[in-house]
Structure 1
Amino acid sequence: MLVSEFIGRCLQDVEGSAVQCSNSHSVPYLKDWHFVKEYPEYVAYKTPIFFCDDWLNLYLDNYRMHTDSDKYQENNEICCSDYRFVYMGVKGSWTPLHADVFRSYSWSANVCGKKRWLFLDPSQHHLVFDRNMKNCVYNIFDEVSDSKFPGFKKAIWLECMQEAGEIIFVPSGWYHQVQNLVYTGKELEKRLFIVILNTISNTNKACSICFSSSQAEPTYWA
């Protein structure tokens, strides 16, 4: 799907529930778009100083792979990507419960919209897995089976609302689930997608846009 097609669908009368996620809702959500890598000349943002020690992306930015690993090639082909993403989603779009890849930590800057974050302390991770510690709960707002996930109801969730212009830091190993919520008010209604796509849309559809970057597991210091 092209980005233009995605935007067209967002502008249709498609709406999910901002209170409770459901797998039955089909709302558009653009996830894991490597915008920075695809449009480096745009310079979409500068990494905040607190997050500049970005080992994972530093490695991937300089890592090259051969198309044929058995042959030397002077001009290697880049076969890997980075962990810098853009997310765009309307009301009701959401990300399932997960921990960031490679036990990385991450930060997420919300350009516009409003997001609801649910965090789980690493000491309680066993509560969202089945008896064999293989399968994790997918959606914490679903009816979760007591027999399959016997400890789920004991989990204590930390909730945070992220407004436009705010950055969320996700420590290494913290499971989290994220929802895009309705943002009432005329300001957001008048600026759907303009930050990334430099267009102006007068619409009353709520939308959330954010930049996200996953980074290597940090060294701990006092």
Structure 2
Amino acid sequence: MNNNQSDIYDELMSKDWITNLDESEYGLVRYDEPPSYETFIRECFLKNRPALFTANCGLMNQWACIAEWLSEDRTKPDFDRLINLYGSMIVPVTKCSSNVTEYGSDDNKLTMRFDEFVHLWRNNDTTAQYYCKDWHLQKMSDETKPLFYSIPIYFQSDWLNEKCLAENEDDFRFVYMGGDGTSTPSHMDVLGTYSWSANICGRKRWCFSKPYPIEFIQEPGDIVFVPSEWYHDVTNIGYTISINHNWFNAFNIFRIWKHLCLTLDDIEHRIEDCRSLMSDTWYEHCQVILQANEGMNFISLYKLLYIIAQRRITGDNTNKHATFDLWIIEKLIQTMLHTSTFLYACDFDTLPQRPKALVKQIHSYIEKQKQ
């Protein structure tokens, strides 16, 4: 994380991250010029508030995809060029229907060649029905090539995608392409993560419902920051292309942990009648279900924390943000070690490093940075 702030990290490392989650303000933060990273931390990360970075911020001015994907006047997709670039790729497509209102339903999910999707997308009779969503375009493309966009500084501390890329796993970086009226029903993002969404062209109507109702229009060139656990639905206005990331970092990792714990409680409650039949494997079985439902469980979360910790320890020794990451990871692992279900569910011999040893390694590193 490249920034010159240091005092704020000393302040953050004195904060009670386990019990003190500040949600005293809910309104949308609007930026018409780029804020400092510290300002974004204070106004959005710490308060878990949504933000709109308008096109005036210029965060997308140098993105290659603006020139590559859009018409000469940059107001709509260049369909023919997109087909030339990606026509043979197999893409995920959602068939939008008023009969399907549940987010993530498999009943309306399809796959097809991208050129077939574009035919439906540009056809007035079908443009409102077919929505290319959750397309891992960068992952499917040549990874040796640079991104067709650059990640603004506010979203660069991204443990989730950092781990996925380090382990060559499916990432959480997506491209969305849809016509007028295509939409995503009300939902909370996977694991209660943050997300950010950048409009390449077209407009989107955002409706936040929980914990606080907010409605606004995202214009071309705008970027929206969605905080953890905010429910929202989104409707496209005109031919729309956006780039979206789901992600988490030190500022919301305790929310991710809380989300997993609450989801596990619900799983255990739902299958309680089976507990006597699997007394020896109950905790392991519940973790399998948690992983299947959420894409993460206590074990996979710990392995992610281990990977991020090792990358910070072996990285830039003068980076205050890295030290803050490590400090948060140490606090979370200590919390996990005081959680009975984590202790019961994990075979520590199968982990890349035992939790207490990792805590000791992190603590030793942080103490050395103080000298």
TM interval, short-chain normalised:
0.5 to 0.7
Structure 1 equivalent of residue 345 of structure 2: none
Once residues 194 and 236 of structure 2 are traced to their aligned partners in structure 1, the CA distance between those partners, rounded to angstroms, is 21
Task: Say yes or no: does 1:115 pair with 2:147.
Answer: no
Q: CA deviation at 1:38?
A: 1.3
* Aligned AA (1:164): P
Once residues 15 and 118 of structure 1 are traced to their aligned partners in structure 2, the CA distance between those partners, rounded to angstroms, is 24
Task: Say yes or no: does 1:164 pair with 2:164.
Answer: no
* Aligned AA (2:240): S
Task: Say yes or no: does 1:81 pair with 2:192.
Answer: no
Task: Say yes or no: does 1:38 pair with 2:149.
Answer: no
Q: CA deviation at 1:13?
A: 2.2
Equivalent pairs, count: 140
Q: Sequence identity of aligned pairs in percent?
A: 41
Would the alpha carbon gap of residues 180 and 84 (structure 1) be closer, same or farther in structure 2, given more than 3 Å must change? same
Higher relative contact order at CA 8 Å, sep ≥6: structure 1 or structure 2? 1
Once residues 158 and 56 of structure 1 are traced to their aligned partners in structure 2, the CA distance between those partners, rounded to angstroms, is 27
Would the alpha carbon gap of residues 43 and 217 (structure 1) be closer, same or farther in structure 2, given more than 3 Å must change? closer
C-alpha distance after superposition, 1:161-196 (max 9, x if no partner): 000000000000000000001xxxxxxxxxxxxxxx
Structure with greater strand percent: 1
Q: CA deviation at 1:10?
A: 1.3
Aligned partner of residue 117 in structure 2, secondary structure: helix
Structure 2 equivalent of residue 129 of structure 1: none
The answer on whether the counterparts of 1:31 and 1:88 sit within 8 Å (CA) in structure 2 is yes
Q: CA deviation at 1:62?
A: 1.4
The answer on whether the counterparts of 2:157 and 2:249 sit within 8 Å (CA) in structure 1 is no
Task: Say yes or no: does 1:212 pair with 2:212.
Answer: no
Which of these residues, 137, 140, 163, is aligned with residue 59 of structure 1? Answer: 163
Q: CA RMSD in A?
A: 1.9
Which of these residues, 216, 223, 232, is aligned with residue 176 of structure 1? Answer: 232
* Aligned AA (1:44): F
Once residues 129 and 156 of structure 2 are traced to their aligned partners in structure 1, the CA distance between those partners, rounded to angstroms, is 34
The answer on whether the counterparts of 1:103 and 1:217 sit within 8 Å (CA) in structure 2 is no
Q: CA deviation at 1:43?
A: 2.0
Would the alpha carbon gap of residues 107 and 218 (structure 1) be closer, same or farther in structure 2, given more than 3 Å must change? farther
Would the alpha carbon gap of residues 96 and 158 (structure 1) be closer, same or farther in structure 2, given more than 3 Å must change? same
Q: CA deviation at 1:14?
A: 2.1
Once residues 2 and 15 of structure 1 are traced to their aligned partners in structure 2, the CA distance between those partners, rounded to angstroms, is 16
Once residues 117 and 34 of structure 1 are traced to their aligned partners in structure 2, the CA distance between those partners, rounded to angstroms, is 23
Task: Say yes or no: does 1:2 pair with 2:91.
Answer: no
Aligned partner of residue 60 in structure 1, secondary structure: helix
* Aligned AA (1:37): K
Q: CA deviation at 1:58?
A: 0.5
Would the alpha carbon gap of residues 217 and 52 (structure 1) be closer, same or farther in structure 2, given more than 3 Å must change? closer
Structure with greater helix percent: 2
Once residues 191 and 250 of structure 2 are traced to their aligned partners in structure 1, the CA distance between those partners, rounded to angstroms, is 12
Q: CA deviation at 1:121?
A: 3.4
Which of these residues, 151, 174, 191, is aligned with residue 102 of structure 1? Answer: 191
Would the alpha carbon gap of residues 48 and 89 (structure 1) be closer, same or farther in structure 2, given more than 3 Å must change? same
Aligned partner of residue 4 in structure 1, secondary structure: helix
Q: CA deviation at 1:29?
A: 0.4
Which of these residues, 104, 109, 125, is aligned with residue 14 of structure 1? Answer: 125
* Aligned AA (1:102): L
Aligned partner of residue 44 in structure 1, secondary structure: coil
